[in-house]
């Protein structure tokens, strides 16, 4: 059988493949080397029924399943994507930027990477594409662009020679420092032994993924045989580096053809040539014959199974199957194993495939760029990113929910309070950077510097004047028509607080002091006094209907939506008075007919705060009028990307 292969030299170009089929009438071709070359030569194999075997064309664009005469004895690039996604998930990174060369080989992995990252709740905010023949200036320009972004996790998929230049330039630009995370695919990992020391020094802390080759006696003896054969065929040339996985796959590929040949030999049917009228055609493709032995040979190749030098050789739909990937960490002059990944068990600290004990799940200690053992968080504040403008309504009175004032020393607007604490705690837990700054909002036309209504600010947020609003903003239907709210982070509802009747308890409790009367009289007295005490402590008002019937005045917090709620409950607008929260006690003490009110209506969080200081003389009574609680305000479009801003 005529088989031409040279695993140590560049494989055939398109014209050479045609020459092999036309003039030498080969029965199989081992090659081509690159995915770009393979695209054309696979078509020739299908046309001539000649098996095309490639140990190095790894692009997922090439399909052995849909091309009967194509066999890939290398791993499809997409097979390593689940291992990469497991790393992303293990370190809780939510954004990843792929850096890949602009070629069939480089682009082929991207759709699979996108899908795998979605499965682990991560996504790709930007794709960094490097020309297939780049200049240093082109690489530097792309690195400068990456440095201005917030994402600090990069997956590099390109030929090893381009990757070597990329890492040297990235190191010089300070991108192999603390806070960065770099992962290289097997396109670099498989060729790691060919990298010079300058490149390895620039890659300190990089993680890599590559196929795991199990140790064996065949593998142990192979390097010596490999170097010896190379010296025979290339006298005077310097010795090659140790064989990499492509050399192992090339060896197993040749062995697979030899094994298949023993099953179907001899090949005697030859080629069926095209009709003679095509002999004068200038198109070489029309002069190619069709192998009559090809169908049997390709079936034998696809069915071949043996223990090869690179591990078990088995094909599924003409494709070598992934089993175990090694996770390595570039440290010092070489690398260390950080663990392994298998389709069945995921990440493991050991290079095993049969089982994973619970104490070995995960990875061994990783040394990251900059020398830290603490995994990078995966993002930083963008160098020139636009900060979200967070509107904060300003109120003149002290308020434990939100307080804002200008810092005389720095000139900044400082805000504190419960709502701010909640907002900032959630923002710290965001899996990606969201830069923001607070913007005070008040009505300059109001002498008392009172804030404009929350509903008005919500409307301004909907118009994108502000990116969000943070304060004690109640979620109500009218506002939800034009803005989005996060989930509520407080108890919801409006309640009523009223003063209690005049307290006589100091003089009444004297009857409980020990006296001489018989015991039964004392017990009777206790019951009588208890009942009387309960009677004098029932509130002055029982419910809203009583207030309306009496024509009493009621109060609410200035600027609150509660006024509209009271009007909807049939309270005469002329009977509604507004107060600051620190005026509630005085208004209730004056009463409805002395310039005050008989009751105050406010949201439950505010009334709880009021009662914590005034519980002796006031009572919360009546029904709860349900509302949505406090929530943060966002424009409808922006809120879709910040859905995690909810309660813990």
**pLDDT tens, residue by residue, 582-623:** 899 999 999 988 999 999 999 999 999 999 988 888 999 888
Q: What is the pLDDT of residues 503-535, one digit of tens each?
A: 444 444 444 445 555 665 666 665 565 554 444
**Length of the chain, in residues:** 648
Query: Could you tell me which of 442, 406, 438, 407 has the C-alpha nearest to residue 424?
Result: 438
Chain centroid to Cα 434, Å, comes to: 14
283 versus 295: the higher-pLDDT residue is 295
Res. 384: pLDDT tops 70: no
- Domain boundary at 461, 489, 517, which? 489
Does 27 share its domain with 97? no
> What one-character-per-residue DSSP string does 222-291 give?
HHHHHHHHHHHHSTTSPPPPPP-HHHHHHHHHHHHHHHHHHHH----S-EEPPPGGGTT-S-GGGG--EE
pLDDT confidence tier of residue 638, bands split at 50, 70 and 90: low
User: Crossing angle, helix 217-233 and helix 245-264, to 10 degrees?
Assistant: 90
Q: What is the CATH number of the domain that holds 576?
A: 3.40.190.10
List helix spans (H) across 410-453.
418-428
**8 A C-beta contact, residue 507 and residue 620:** no
> Exposed (0-12), middle (13-18) or buried (19+): which is 345, by Cβ within 10 Å?
middle
Looking at residue 174, what is its pLDDT?
94
- Assessment of whether the complete model's pTM goes beyond 0.75: no
Domain assignment present for 387: no
Domain assignment present for 351: yes
Structure tokens at 367: 């040394």
- Segment (H or E) for 413: strand 413-416
Q: What is the CATH number of the domain that holds 159?
A: 3.40.50.2300
Domain assignment present for 298: yes
Strands 315-316 and 325-331, how do they pair? Answer: unpaired
Range of the domain at 557: 494-501+538-625
Distance (Å, rounded) from C-alpha 53 to C-alpha 26?
13
How far lies 130's CA from each of 83, 84, 166, in Å? 24, 20, 9
Structure tokens at 79: 């097979």
Q: What does the DSSP 8-state code read for residue 305?
A: -
Res. 409: pLDDT tops 90: no
Looking at residue 451, what is its pLDDT?
53
Does 107 share its domain with 162? yes
Does 98 share its domain with 199? yes
Distance (Å, rounded) from C-alpha 431 to C-alpha 436?
15
Q: What is the pLDDT of residues 307-321, one digit of tens each?
A: 999 999 999 999 998
Q: How many alpha carbons fall within 13 Å on the CB side of residue 636?
A: 8
pLDDT more than 90, % of the chain: 57
Beta strands in 96-220 (DSSP E): 97-101, 128-130, 153-157, 181-184, 207-211
Q: What is the pLDDT of residues 44-66, one digit of tens each?
A: 999 999 999 999 999 998 888 88
State how many domains the chain has: 4
Phi and psi dihedrals of 183, rounded to 5? -125, 130
Looking at residue 504, what is its pLDDT?
45
Does 169 share its domain with 142? yes
8 versus 148: the higher-pLDDT residue is 148
Distance (Å, rounded) from C-alpha 28 to C-alpha 41?
12
**8 A C-beta contact, residue 588 and residue 597:** yes
Q: How many alpha carbons fall within 13 Å on the CB side of residue 257?
A: 27
pLDDT more than 70, % of the chain: 85
Q: What angle do CA 40, 258, 55 make, to 5 degrees?
A: 40
Name beta bridge partners: 599.
Answer: 554
Does 204 share its domain with 327? yes
Domain assignment present for 366: no
Domain assignment present for 288: yes
**8 A C-beta contact, residue 451 and residue 441:** yes
Domain assignment present for 221: yes
Distance (Å, rounded) from C-alpha 485 to C-alpha 645?
9
Name beta bridge partners: 98.
Answer: 155
């Amino acid at each position: 059988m005529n088989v031409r292969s040279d695993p140590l030299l560049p494989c055939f170009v398109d014209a050479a493949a045609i020459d092999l089929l036309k003039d030498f009438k080969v029965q199989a071709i081992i090659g081509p080397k690159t995915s770009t070359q393979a695209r054309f030569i696979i078509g020739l194999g299908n046309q001539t029924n000649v098996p095309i075997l490639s140990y190095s064309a790894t692009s997922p664009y090439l399909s052995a399943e849909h091309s009967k005469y194509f066999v890939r004895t290398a791993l499809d690039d997409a097979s390593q994507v689940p291992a990469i996604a497991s790393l992303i998930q293990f370190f809780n990174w939510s954004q990843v930027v792929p850096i890949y060369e602009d070629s069939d080989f480089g682009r082929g992995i991207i759709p699979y990477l996108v899908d795998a990252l979605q499965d682990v709740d991560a996504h790709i905010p930007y794709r960094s594409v490097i020309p297939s023949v780049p200049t240093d200036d082109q690489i530097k320009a792309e690195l400068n662009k990456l440095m201005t972004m917030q994402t600090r996790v990069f997956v590099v998929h390109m030929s090893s020679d381009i990757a070597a230049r990329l890492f040297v330039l990235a190191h010089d630009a300070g991108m192999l420092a603390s806070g960065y995370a770099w992962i290289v695919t097997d396109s670099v990992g498989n060729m790691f032994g060919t990298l010079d020391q300058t490149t390895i020094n620039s890659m300190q802390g990089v993680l890599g993924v590559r196929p795991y080759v199990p140790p064996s006696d065949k593998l142990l003896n192979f390097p010596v045989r490999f170097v010896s054969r190379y010296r025979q065929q290339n006298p005077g040339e310097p010795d090659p580096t140790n064989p990499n996985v492509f050399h192992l796959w090339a060896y197993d590929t040749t062995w697979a053809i030899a094994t298949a040949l023993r099953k179907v030999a001899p090949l005697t049917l030859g080629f069926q040539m095209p009709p003679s009228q095509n002999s004068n055609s200038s198109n070489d493709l029309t002069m190619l014959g069709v192998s009559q032995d090809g169908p049997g040979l390709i079936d034998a190749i696809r069915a071949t199974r043996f223990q090869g030098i690179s591990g078990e050789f088995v094909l599924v739909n003409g494709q070598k199957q992934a089993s175990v990937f090694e996770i390595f960490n570039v440290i010092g002059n070489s690398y260390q194993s950080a663990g392994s990944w298998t389709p069945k068990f995921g990440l493991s600290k050991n290079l095993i495939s049969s089982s994973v004990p619970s104490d070995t799940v995960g990875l061994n200690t990783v040394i990251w760029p900059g020398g830290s053992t603490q995994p990078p968080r995966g993002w930083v504040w963008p160098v020139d990113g636009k900060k979200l403008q967070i509107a904060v309504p300003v109120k003149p009175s002290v308020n434990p929910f939100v307080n804002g004032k200008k810092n005389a020393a720095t000139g900044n607007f400082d805000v504190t309070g419960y709502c701010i604490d909640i907002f900032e705690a959630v923002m710290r837990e965001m899996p990606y950077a969201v830069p923001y700054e607070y913007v005070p909002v008040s009505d300059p036309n109001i002498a008392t510097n009172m804030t404009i209504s929350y509903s008005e600010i919500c409307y301004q947020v909907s118009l994108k004047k502000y990116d969000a609003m943070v304060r004690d903003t109640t979620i109500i239907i009218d506002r939800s028509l034009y803005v989005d709210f996060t989930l509520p982070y407080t108890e919801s509802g409006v309640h009523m607080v009223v003063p209690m009747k005049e307290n006589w308890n100091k003089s009444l409790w004297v009857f409980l002091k020990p006296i001489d009367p018989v015991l039964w009289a004392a017990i009777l007295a206790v019951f009588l006094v208890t009942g009387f005490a309960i009677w004098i402590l029932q509130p002055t008002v029982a419910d809203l209907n009583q207030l309306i019937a009496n024509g009493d005045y009621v109060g609410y917090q200035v600027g609150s939506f509660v006024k509209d709620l009271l009007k909807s409950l049939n309270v005469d607008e002329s009977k509604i008075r507004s107060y600051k929260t620190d005026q509630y006690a005085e208004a209730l003490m004056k009463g409805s007919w002395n310039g005050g009110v008989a009751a105050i209506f406010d949201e439950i969080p505010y009334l709880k705060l009021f009662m914590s200081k005034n519980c002796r003389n006031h009572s919360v009574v009546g029904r709860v009028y349900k509302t949505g609680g406090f929530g943060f305000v966002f424009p409808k479009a922006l809120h879709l990307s910040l859905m995690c801003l909810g309660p813990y």
